[in-house]
Amino acid sequence: MKRLSVLVIVVVLLLAACAQPTPVVIEKEVLVTVEVEKQVVVEKEVQVTVEVEKQVVVEKEVQVTVEVEKEVIVEVPEKVTLKYFMWDPDLEELELSIIDEYTSMNPHVTIEFEALVPEEYWPKMSALATAGEMPDVFNMSSGFVDEYASKGLMGSIEYYIERDINPDDYFSGIFSAVRYPDKQTSSMKAMPFAWVCTVLYYNKDAFDAAGVDYPQEDWTWDDFLDAAKKLTVDEDSDGMIDQYGFWFYGRYAQTESWIYQNNGRLLNAAKTRFEPDDNAIETLDFLYSLIHEHEVAPMPKEMEGIRQQDIFPQGMAAMWVDGSWNIQNCRDVAGDTFQWGIAPIPRGPHWEKDQAYGWPDNIAMSPTTPHADEVWNYIKYLTGPGRPASSYKGGKVPILKSTALSEEFLEKDQQPANKGFLLEWGDNLGPNSFTPGWGEWRGYTGGAGLNAWLDEAYNGEVDMATAIEETTKTANEVLTRFYPEP
């Protein structure tokens, strides 16, 4: 048998598939040998198409760089303007610096700021409330919380408190002062930024000169009176007292402190009527006796022309009870002329436990602000780490514990050396006499009310019984407007 060599052009088209086998056609020149049974040799060019089934699987890791155009949508906050009112022009410069810091972090917010002295602040707030033009955010005294809340002039912030505030980080025990109507269960109407309490200021140099021990935690009225007598001095024997043992007048911070340390109260249990109990009356009689019987304190009219908060730091009285916020004024007025300290209010004969008279200073939100979230963010900043310890003037204690415990706030290099006592005394914060209409019946805003009648008694114009009787009439006229039923 002979073999025939044939030049064959094989055309195959190859289609590759990864999953299902498909015919692949391959075009190629090949030499094909065909075995034939004839003795004839034929040389011929032929074209042969061979269909081949081939499955090609390629597995390979590939790194691919793809250039993609992506559209990024950034949500720009709506620009808002907040009106902010506060009551302390002395802090205006510092407050403006805090505002600058806040708005630099929140450039979509503009804050229009106004600071007024208290004598102008409350009348203006009242006028704005009447006109329906309350500022978005404003300072709120604990003495006016109930009144403003009862008139619907403060927005509830309970939702934000529950969402953002960890009570353990704050002196949250004092939050009850800004709840309304129920002081334990109702929603918060404002956020405290600081708290204050009343203390006994005493002149250490005067005590040393008189050979009297400094006030102690367990000091009683008798201890206090004994010291006050020794501290009342006529230095040149001209019949004029050069230094009184004590100074006070009918102001709330100088009166209620003594009543609570004698386990007394000015109002009935429901706080709907002025109704001093026996312990409160005993306290007012004791204060009256300091002027008219023991002569260890001057009549208020003797100090006319002198700011009441300057009498102690000017060395005109060796002791004085008032709010811790006066620490800075004492520093400014007294300077280094004498050393002084702070102590608890002396205990009365019916004392059962220490009850410090204190309250928070607060920041509130208008119930009609269209920017509630932005207002809250600003309030949270003002009451949190954003407010430096230096902004808490004197003895105003930061509501944020970490700030209150800081070396910057405790100021151990300044007077009083025992400023940290405030944090201890604050643990005893107890009752207060705040009600709707408090500013009116107490005489805080208009100078009338209890304040005026006490000063009438202290000035010798009426006796204390008459002062209490007249106050009861006027105070209950005010309270009846808010509480028709006692």
pLDDT given at position 349? 98
CB of 417 within 8 A of CB of 343? no
Q: In the numeric block, which tokens belong to residue 382? A: 């003002």
Other Cβ atoms within 10 Å of 379 Cβ, number:
21
Choose among 209, 203, 199, 247: nearest CA to 230.
209
pLDDT given at position 2? 39
Report residue 479: phi and psi, to 5°. Answer: -65, -30
Cα–Cα distance measured from residue 312 to residue 340, given in angstroms and rounded to the nearest whole number: 10
Tens of pLDDT along the chain (486 residues) come to 433 333 333 322 223 333 444 443 334 444 444 443 444 344 444 444 444 444 444 445 545 455 555 565 657 789 999 999 999 898 899 999 999 999 999 999 999 999 999 889 999 999 999 999 999 999 999 999 999 999 999 999 999 999 999 999 999 989 999 999 999 999 999 999 999 999 999 999 999 999 999 999 999 999 999 999 999 999 999 999 999 999 999 999 999 999 999 999 999 999 999 999 999 999 999 999 999 999 999 999 999 999 999 999 999 999 999 999 999 999 999 999 999 999 999 999 999 999 999 999 999 999 999 999 999 999 999 999 989 998 898 899 999 999 999 999 999 999 999 999 999 998 899 899 999 999 999 998 766 899 999 999 999 999 999 999 999 999 999 999 999 988
119-137 burial code (b ≥16 CB/10 A, e <16): eebbeebbebeeeeebbbb
Per-domain residue ranges for the chain? 3-54, 80-196+358-424, 197-357+430-482
pLDDT given at position 444? 82
CA angle 231, 246, 89 (to 5 degrees): 130
For 448, residues 6+ apart whose C-beta sits below 8 A from its C-beta are 440, 474
Torsion of CA 362, 363, 366, 370, to 10 degrees: -160
Indicate the angle between helix axes 449-458 and 252-260, nearest 10 degrees: 80
β-pairing, 3-10 vs 190-203, is unpaired
CA–CA distances in Å: residue 378 to residues 75, 199, 384, 402: 20, 32, 10, 19
Q: What is the DSSP string of 15-66?
A: ---SSS-EEE---EEEEEEEE-SSS------EEE---EEE------------
pLDDT given at position 40? 38
For 69, residues 6+ apart whose C-beta sits below 8 A from its C-beta are none
What is the sign of the dihedral through the CA atoms of 450, 456, 462 and 463? positive
Residue 473 exposure: Cα atoms within 13 Å on the Cβ side: 6
Cα–Cα distance measured from residue 253 to residue 271, given in angstroms and rounded to the nearest whole number: 18
End-to-end CA distance of the chain: 136
pLDDT given at position 48? 44
pLDDT given at position 69? 58
Cα–Cα distance measured from residue 431 to residue 269, given in angstroms and rounded to the nearest whole number: 11
For 248, residues 6+ apart whose C-beta sits below 8 A from its C-beta are 254, 255, 287, 290, 297, 320, 321
In the block, tokens 């250039």 appear at 67
Cα–Cα distance measured from residue 217 to residue 347, given in angstroms and rounded to the nearest whole number: 9
Report residue 323: phi and psi, to 5°. Answer: -70, 150
Q: In the numeric block, which tokens belong to residue 335? A: 């300077």
Cα–Cα distance measured from residue 178 to residue 363, given in angstroms and rounded to the nearest whole number: 10
Write out the CATH class of domain 80-196+358-424. alpha beta
> Quick one: DSSP state of residue 272?
S
CB of 252 within 8 A of CB of 198? no
Q: Do domains 80-196+358-424 and 197-357+430-482 have the same CATH topology?
A: yes
CB of 302 within 8 A of CB of 228? no
Report residue 48: phi and psi, to 5°. Answer: -115, 130
Write out the CATH class of domain 197-357+430-482. alpha beta
Residue type, 29: E
pLDDT given at position 71? 61
Indicate the angle between helix axes 278-292 and 221-231, nearest 10 degrees: 10
Strand intervals (E) in 333-448: 340-343, 358-365, 397-398
Is pTM beyond 0.85? Reply is no
